[in-house]
Amino acid sequence: MIHLDTSFLIRALVPDSREDRKLREWLLTDEALGMNCIGWAEFLCGPVEPRHVELAREIVHEPEPFGRRDAELAANLFNGSGRRRGSLSDCMIAASAVRAGGSLATANAGDFRRFTGLRIFTV
């Protein structure tokens, strides 16, 4: 399973971007794709066009819920990585990918490299 970070999804909606090409490749090969509800909320905060919201819904289907295990892992990532201001949502996104045993596709790898146990995919 490849979890999409908000930054990756936003850039994948730009025609012929590296992320767009990679996403199309994954879709053609039936790669399992997902996104947690934290990243989905970030995406919806936009600005985003309604047609892009519909397209993103077709790609990620139902965002994965953020549960107690995710919250505990996110807190461990936050506390273990220096309690950086503004990084809690990144910790929450990373926690869901780690818990699910998936990789995280992101356009901002630097935001996630400090999290142990997270496999990062960049293009």
pLDDT tens digits along 41-50: 999 999 999 9
Q: Which of 58, 68, 69, 14 is nearest to 35 (CA)?
A: 58
Give mean pLDDT, residues 82-109.
Answer: 93
Residue 116 pLDDT > 90, yes or no?
no
Residues 6+ apart with CB under 8 A from 73: 95, 98, 99
Q: Respond yes or no on whether the N-terminal peptide bond of residue 15 is cis (omega within 30° of 0).
A: no
Q: Which of 93, 85, 118 is nearest to 38 (CA)?
A: 93
CATH assignment of 2-121, among 3.40.605.10, 3.40.50.1010, 3.40.50.920, 3.10.180.10:
3.40.50.1010
Give mean pLDDT, residues 76-100.
Answer: 93
Q: Which of 57, 65, 56 is nearest to 96 (CA)?
A: 65
Structure tokens at 53: 């919201």
Residue 117 pLDDT > 90, yes or no?
no
Are the CB atoms for 71 and 88 separated by under 8 Å? no
Query: Model confidence at 20, in pLDDT bands (50, 70, 90)?
Result: very high
